[in-house]
Amino acid sequence: MKPLSVSIYRYSLPFIRPVPVGSRSIATREGLVLCLQHGPFRGYGETAPLPGLHEECLDDAFGELEAVLRHADLQTGSLSALTVSEQLPNNLLPSVRTGIEMALLNLQAAWTGSFIPLPGIPAPADRLPLNALLFGDTPTVLQQAAALYRRGYRTFKLKVQARNADTALQQIRELDRSFGNDVLLRLDSNRSFDRNEAREFLSSLPADRIAYIEEPLSDPSGIPELVRRTAIRCALDETLWQAPHVRHELPDSCLGAYILKPARTGGISATTRLALEASSRGSAAVISSVYESGISIGFYARLASLLSRTPTACGIDTFRQFRQDLPLTPITSESGALDVETVWQRSRTPDESRLKQLSAWTL
């Protein structure tokens, strides 16, 4: 089946409060929504480069999205999350590739009724546990954690930086004192430590409470020694797209997870391949968002459900940060998890009053 028409929209969504992105905070999230349509069947995808994370800006993404779709010969019918990239040009901006691949798979699923399963994983998971991001000063972090714990969350993620290592250490110890082994902590340092700083910091932590630390070092070649000295495994995030060869140079025993942001790792197919690779190495495949709208959140939940019958907690809890989202029916969690089918169905019906049409044409 070929898409017969294309529409591209723009959105701007307010956050409940500014969210930290690198060294800055942002109050609103802006992005593009692509709709591919054939008769009554629609497939939505999202292209939303995040300032401070992506090299491309929104205008760059719109220009490439429109140029590619005006000339591409797109087909659906037998596409899987592994093969959807094959009919697209190489070297697309990662946020653009993600939006097109998402829309194609959603259109095909609207037509056929389901996603094509991945090899060796015959049945998708029904529920997807969530990783809740904590941020703020220590009282705020503890209040967030207590409220989320009551709602069923058992995996928390905490940003840690070399410049505020003492505060992070206090927060981690307070969380350990409050919840003990009832929760698992994931840390993310965005490469802020040197080797000595990282070793000193991690050696001070309750290692059995820490699932992993994302990108602890400015030079990831020091990860094996750091893990050997601290017994805390590391997760790869930026390294996966900035220096992809490095992951093959690290022993499996050092790695706790691949953090997979489809809009940054190069699209749905690239993310799926990395997820299967992580699993083969005994590491978790943690699908994560870059503060995209509920359109992406529902799709990522469906994607994660295809990767494992027992998926790890994923980093797509970011929908909680929006004051207003795109799906007509808001995405919600229950007991710290998403009902995959429910959120995916909700993500496929956006509120068009929150979308501004930029371009539309027939194919």
Q: Give the model's confidence band at 72: pLDDT under 50 very low, under 70 low, under 90 confident, else very high.
A: confident
Q: Is the pLDDT of residue 198 over 90?
A: yes
Task: Indicate the range of 89-93, 118-122, 175-179 predicted with least confidence.
Answer: 118-122
Q: How far apart are CA 212 and CA 189, in angstroms?
A: 11
Per-residue pLDDT at 23:
72
Query: How would you class 39 by CB atoms within 10 Å of its CB: exposed for 0-12, middle for 13-18, buried for 19 or more?
Result: exposed
Q: How far apart are CA 295 and CA 49, in angstroms?
A: 15
Per-residue tokens: 55: 């090299």
Q: Give the model's confidence band at 106: pLDDT under 50 very low, under 70 low, under 90 confident, else very high.
A: very high
Reported as a single tens digit per residue, the pLDDT across 296-342 is 999 999 999 999 999 999 999 999 999 999 999 999 999 999 999 99
Mean pLDDT score, 349-358: 97
267: number of Cβ within 10 Å:
25
Query: Does the domain at residues 5-117+351-362 carry the CATH identifier 3.20.20.70?
Result: no
Per-residue tokens: 7: 């529409």
Q: How far apart are CA 132 and CA 294, in angstroms?
A: 16
Where are the chain's structural domains? Answer: 5-117+351-362, 127-347
The position carrying tokens 């009832």 is: 182
Reported as a single tens digit per residue, the pLDDT across 6-56 is 999 999 999 999 987 877 889 999 999 999 999 999 999 999 999 988 999
Reported as a single tens digit per residue, the pLDDT across 159-179 is 999 999 999 999 999 999 999
User: Kind and range of the H or E element at 68?
Assistant: helix 58-71
Per-residue pLDDT at 135:
86
Distances (CA, A) of 161 to 80, 158, 215: 39, 10, 11
Per-residue pLDDT at 120:
83
Per-residue pLDDT at 177:
94
First to last CA, the chain: 12
Provide the H-helix boundaries in 291-335: 294-307
Reported as a single tens digit per residue, the pLDDT across 215-239 is 999 899 999 999 999 999 999 999 9
Pick out the residues of the known binding site: 188, 214, 237
Q: Strand 210-214 and strand 234-236: pairing? A: parallel
Per-residue pLDDT at 197:
95
Residues involved in catalysis: 159, 261
Q: How far apart are CA 352 and CA 363, in angstroms?
A: 22
Query: Does the domain at residues 127-347 carry the CATH identifier 3.40.50.2300?
Result: no
Pick out the residues of the known binding site for Mg(2+): 188, 214, 237
Cβ atoms of 191 and 216 closer than 8 Å: yes
Q: What is the pTM of this model?
A: 0.96
Q: What is the DSSP string of 139-185?
A: HHHHHHHHHHHHTT--EEEEE--GGGHHHHHHHHHHHHHHHGGGSEE
Cβ atoms of 291 and 262 closer than 8 Å: no
